Amino acid sequence: MAIFILAVGLTVLIGAFLIPEGGGYQAVGPRSFPMLVGASGTLIGAIGVVQTFLGPRRPAAQAKSAQPEDPAAAGETELDAPAPARWRPTVMLLAALIAYALLMPPVGYWQTTTVFYAGVARIQGSRKPLRDVLIGLVMGLVTYFVFDRLFGIDLPPGYLRLAI
């Protein structure tokens, strides 16, 4: 995953350098934000790659207190077993993200965001669907109004257009 983040960060960073600089006296041009995102993604991905190759680290005090005096007597080995990979939630989250991207234009931003938030919360283990739907609805509507109505950035209204 860290290599994927690094690759995406580098791709965005390279794409940002291909954006032509705007003329005039503006301090922040059209490539500033993509460069910031690309540099951040590249840095986070690089840190993740390094941490993956170095392995898990824990402080010396915690390592000493976690090991019993006689490992054989306690029935433990000296090396901690790694946690098994949880592929099912990862694949489900990826499928939910793809469905979100495909359904947003025809269905609408705030409607799709509501369902997406509730679905992701359920995948992550939430057992309160009404609360999740309400939080997703509030987040979707607030984001929709801020971007669509205040900033003038058109978001897909979908089938249920808001009267406001």
Residue type (1 letter), 124: Q
Q: Does 155 score more than 80 pLDDT?
A: yes
Residue 23 phi, psi (nearest 5): -85, 175
71-95 pLDDT, tens digit per residue, is 555 555 555 666 777 788 889 999 9
Neighbouring residues of 17: CB distance < 8 A, sequence distance ≥ 6: 31, 35
Angle at 36 between CA 90 and CA 96, to 5 degrees: 20
Q: What pLDDT does 20 receive?
A: 82
Q: Does 70 score more than 70 pLDDT?
A: no
Q: What pLDDT does 81 receive?
A: 65
- For 61-68, the CB contacts below 8 A with 24+ separation are none
Ranges of each domain in the chain: 1-21+29-60, 85-164
Q: What pLDDT does 163 receive?
A: 60
